Structure 1
Amino acid sequence: MSVPTISLHDFDTRRQEIIEQLMDASTNVGFFTLSNHGISPEDVTSIFQLSAQFFALPDEVKAKTALNGKNAGWEKNTQVRPSTGTADQKESIQLQFARMEGLWPGDEDLKGFRERAERFMHQVRDLSVKVMECFAEGLGLPLNTFTEGTVDPGVGDSQDVLRLLHYHSTEGKSFGPNFWRAGAHADFDVLTMLFQRDGEGGLEVCPGRKVVGDFGMGQTWLPVEARQDRIVCNIGDQLMRWSDDRLKSTYHRVRLPEGAESQGARYSIAFFNQARTDSIIQGPEKKYPPITGGQFIAEAMAKNRMQSAEIARQAAMESSDKVASEVHFVPQHLQAAA
């Protein structure tokens, strides 16, 4: 088994072929990469440049827009995965179309940040609409099932997130066996679209999950090549539930560099398509009770132990080594080994 690559060239004439490929990848692996996707190399390079410029700012400047408890804002070393009990070795800023009052970095710190970020967000969302319509058609549902459920028609209830990620350099550092750049987790959205830079690898996926909420996985971790010309996509828990578990939300992680691999920083950019606040998530077979997008996100954030804005702000003022090296708790599935 491997993570397949699906080309979107000649999309309109190849639509049925592409739907079949998307459904095969999403029911068996939960991950795929898109080539010939239509977002220009120049635009991808530009957003990575913007990301690097932001993370190069002093922590006290980034802390002006600290994580606000509503899945928006900047955090550093505060995301503790239930699968590891340790903090991810990274920092990130999460941007939305709504609920961003006071959370956009100002022009005095990074000129044009909001305009450049929002332009890219719209590009990726437009591409995601094509993919989500394909999923609806492949599942035999109305074409607008997932797009109407995620794309804000102008009422301000979008929950989509663009997350700029900066994984810290590991040069000269040593870590215990349970530390990761991002510990094993499943995304809690509809569809994730991830951009990586050439050669900055470490992403691995583990197919085998059967139902939403199940921690169980398969036994094999598959590497995903880091290529800037391809978009890595994966199904999230919302879509797995919305499809009555037909489409698989797969556990994945980002491991620390090994051997002769580069020990320097790693950058990636993820766009999370998420159900609108009042959208009802329920599959055609009604395998799960209905839940709104707002309820789903609130429960998922609590489950994943996303820290509050105040904790994020305090952590940003601590030594990175101190915060990132603390074992916060021992997960239940690791307690016997401990």
Structure 2
Amino acid sequence: MKNVPTLDIRRFDTDRDAFVAELGAAYREFGFCCISGHGIAHERIEHAYDVFQRFFALPEDVKMKYHVPGTGGARGYTPFKVETAKDSQYPDLKEFWHIGREIDPDSKFADTMAPNLWPAEVPDFKQHGYALYEALDQLGARVLRALALHIDLPETYFEDKIDQGNSILRPIHYPPIEGGDVPNVRAGAHEDINFITLLVGASAAGLEVFTREGEWLPITTTGDAIVVNIGDMLQRLTNHVYPSTTHRVVNPPGADARKPRYSVPFFLHPNPDVVLDPVPQCVSADNPSRYDTSITSHEYLQQRLREIRLI
């Protein structure tokens, strides 16, 4: 069976052409790649997981203080069984928190990017949560530089399109499965909305990607590797050269189903005013443009949040 490769991003500096070719091939094939050598300290990730787990352990009424109805969960807390994968009958078995970019109140994006909420009950939540946000934001920008080169765009093509991106760090808690039959996998089969997603570790197995051959392929990482996958916005911008691949989180068998699962994806979004038209480098006689209307990333996001029942 084929496996999603793990590539050391330090090779982007030491063996650039080969790294870019291998990275591009991985994304064209799977829409996924595992990235090692990223330099994000293990302690930074551990500290973040610690504050996130402490928050999820709080009583329900305390957590609900940070739930803001009508905002699509853009910031703060979203309780269990709210988000539902597109076309799925059942809501996902998870609760989560959203950390967004800290922006100036007078930013032109202030009307679309709300201020962050920080739980007073976990005093170091902001320190460790936002440190991980910034580290993954920087790593995502490096991955996008390599992806740009692979499709003959300038290395810096994405920089002014993501510097004020509406990116989200989402700590997720999947509770232990209790009782008899469970109707849903923990997170239903879906594609991500954004440019790229960076997934830092998962405390239990379960992530699977749907291959071109129509099979579910488990993704497991070793060492410091972070899973990075293509989202729908980048698929659209690259005219499907980089595919946004369906993936899911399944319930583990046996005793492992009785354990909680935590994961922390970082959804790297473009700036809200970026127009998601396919770039000319990805349009050809063999791959004609698949889109005849323009849409901004903010308009696209709102459309998709309605589909997954967050707004």
TM-score with structure 1 setting the length = 0.80
Tell me if 1:301 matches 2:302. Answer: no
One-letter identity of the residue aligned with 2:119? P
One-letter identity of the residue aligned with 2:301? I
Give, in angstroms, the shift of residue 59 of structure 1: 1.5
C-alpha distance in structure 2 between counterparts of 1:227 and 1:266, whole Å: 17
Tell me if 1:32 matches 2:8. Answer: no
* 1:205 maps to which of 199, 204, 209: 209
For residues 23-50 of structure 1, the C-alpha deviation after alignment (integer angstroms, 9 at most, x for no partner) is 0111011111111111111111111111
Map of 1:330 onto structure 2: none
* 1:71 maps to which of 74, 93, 98: 74
Check whether the contact 1:133–1:143 (CA below 8 A) recurs between aligned residues.
yes
Alignment CA distance shift 1:160-1:102 (3 Å): closer
Q: How does 1:128-277 map to 2 (within 5 A)?
A: 128-152=140-164, 158-170=165-177, 172-176=178-182, 178-197=183-202, 200-208=204-212, 218-227=213-222, 229-261=224-256, 263-277=258-272
CA RMSD of aligned residues (A): 1.8
Check whether the contact 1:184–1:251 (CA below 8 A) recurs between aligned residues.
yes
C-alpha distance in structure 1 between counterparts of 2:12 and 2:232, whole Å: 27
One-letter identity of the residue aligned with 1:174? G
3-state SS in 1 of match to 2:24: helix
Q: How does 1:284-323 map to 2 (within 5 A)?
A: 284=280, 285=283, 286-288=289-291, 289-306=293-310, 308=311
Q: Mind listing any 5+ residue stretches in structure 2 that lack a counterpart?
A: 103-112, 284-288
3-state SS in 2 of match to 1:280: coil
Check whether the contact 1:26–1:32 (CA below 8 A) recurs between aligned residues.
yes
For residues 136-195 of structure 1, the C-alpha deviation after alignment (integer angstroms, 9 at most, x for no partner) is 11111122322321221xxxxx3100000000111x42234x411100000011000001
For residues 284-335 of structure 1, the C-alpha deviation after alignment (integer angstroms, 9 at most, x for no partner) is 23542321111110111112222x4xxxxxxxxxxxxxxxxxxxxxxxxxxx
Alignment CA distance shift 1:138-1:256 (3 Å): same
Q: Mind listing any 5+ residue stretches in structure 1 that lack a counterpart?
A: 153-157, 209-217, 309-338
For residues 98-150 of structure 1, the C-alpha deviation after alignment (integer angstroms, 9 at most, x for no partner) is 534362223xx110222221111111111111100111111111223223212
C-alpha distance in structure 1 between counterparts of 2:223 and 2:63, whole Å: 26
Q: How does 1:36-75 map to 2 (within 5 A)?
A: 36-67=37-68, 68-69=71-72, 71-75=74-78
C-alpha distance in structure 1 between counterparts of 2:151 and 2:194, whole Å: 18
C-alpha distance in structure 2 between counterparts of 1:287 and 1:82, whole Å: 21
Check whether the contact 2:75–2:115 (CA below 8 A) recurs between aligned residues.
no
C-alpha distance in structure 2 between counterparts of 1:91 and 1:139, whole Å: 37
Map of 1:122 onto structure 2: 134
Give, in angstroms, the shift of residue 226 of structure 1: 4.9
3-state SS in 1 of match to 2:258: coil
3-state SS in 2 of match to 1:184: strand
C-alpha distance in structure 2 between counterparts of 1:53 and 1:228, whole Å: 25
Alignment CA distance shift 1:299-1:228 (3 Å): farther
Map of 1:105 onto structure 2: 119
Check whether the contact 2:74–2:114 (CA below 8 A) recurs between aligned residues.
no
Q: Which has the higher contact order (CA 8 A, sep 6+)?
A: 1
C-alpha distance in structure 2 between counterparts of 1:226 and 1:266, whole Å: 16
For residues 59-108 of structure 1, the C-alpha deviation after alignment (integer angstroms, 9 at most, x for no partner) is 111112214326222112211123421111110001101534362223xx
C-alpha distance in structure 1 between counterparts of 2:158 and 2:245, whole Å: 19
Alignment CA distance shift 1:70-1:167 (3 Å): closer
Map of 1:322 onto structure 2: none
3-state SS in 2 of match to 1:50: helix
Check whether the contact 2:190–2:248 (CA below 8 A) recurs between aligned residues.
yes
Check whether the contact 1:83–1:185 (CA below 8 A) recurs between aligned residues.
no
